[in-house]
Chain A
Amino acid sequence: EAQVTQNPRYLITVTGKKLTVTCSQNMNHEYMSWYRQDPGLGLRQIYYSMNVEVTDKGDVPEGYKVSRKEKRNFPLILESPSPNQTSLYFCASSLRAGVQFFGPGTRLTVL
């Protein structure tokens, strides 16, 4: 089944403890992206990647890192999480940037 998967789905952590949220797609898509969803603010793009080893900042990249070593994987790294990074995170992939397929979301709470 063609899909985008994310792990973990739920995560509670403490300030400063490094964490990684994984994202994987099995559709051979070139383009992948990370968003955060916050009430009243909608979806805001964190980082995106046009292909392996090619990444760029979105609208809210501060406090996040990404890497794209393989086409199918696009992990999101929070080196030193802070409470303002508590949010619902979505990974997405597409052949073209317009029609995106989304993962199920990761709900992160930083205490």
Chain B
Amino acid sequence: AQRVTQPEKLLSVFKGAPVELKCNYSYSGSPELFWYVQYSRQRLQLLLRHISRESIKGFTADLNKGETSFHLKKPFAQEEDSAMYYCALKVPNDYKLSFGAGTTVTVRA
């Protein structure tokens, strides 16, 4: 069965510093990968998906099939980036979406 691992439960960075959230997955085929974000007192929402290859709020993520990773990066963290981030995976022809355990990011002034 597919599995998503986010090794960091907590990540604290200073404003303006780069931030990278790690996501590794176990699946031998070609999955769809997503990052979802949950800001304080808000509902979970899609941040970006690897198919789109776009940058949202300054965040980017590249799917590395060789390393089975989908790390989320932002060169200059802002205080409003403080949130819980979830990496998620969907395999072809399956309705199930598997989430990692999440990483709480705190951006300090």
- Listed in ascending order, the chain A residues whose CB lies under 8 Å from chain B are 31, 33, 35, 40-45, 48, 50, 56, 58-59, 90, 92, 97-105
Contact = CB atoms under 8 A, between A and B. Distances in A.
Nearest to B42: A104
Nearest to B6: A42
A42 B43 CA distance: 14
Interface of B: 6, 9, 32, 34, 43-46, 49, 86, 90, 94-102
Main secondary structure of the interface of A (DSSP, over half): strand
A47 to B, nearest CB: 11
Contacts of A102: 43-45
B40 to A, nearest CB: 12
15 contacts: A40-B101, A41-B101, A42-B101, A43-B44, A45-B97, A50-B95, A90-B43, A97-B90, A97-B94, A98-B34, A98-B90, A99-B34, A100-B97, A102-B44, A103-B43
A90 B99 contact: no
A99 B45 CA distance: 9
A99 B32 CA distance: 10
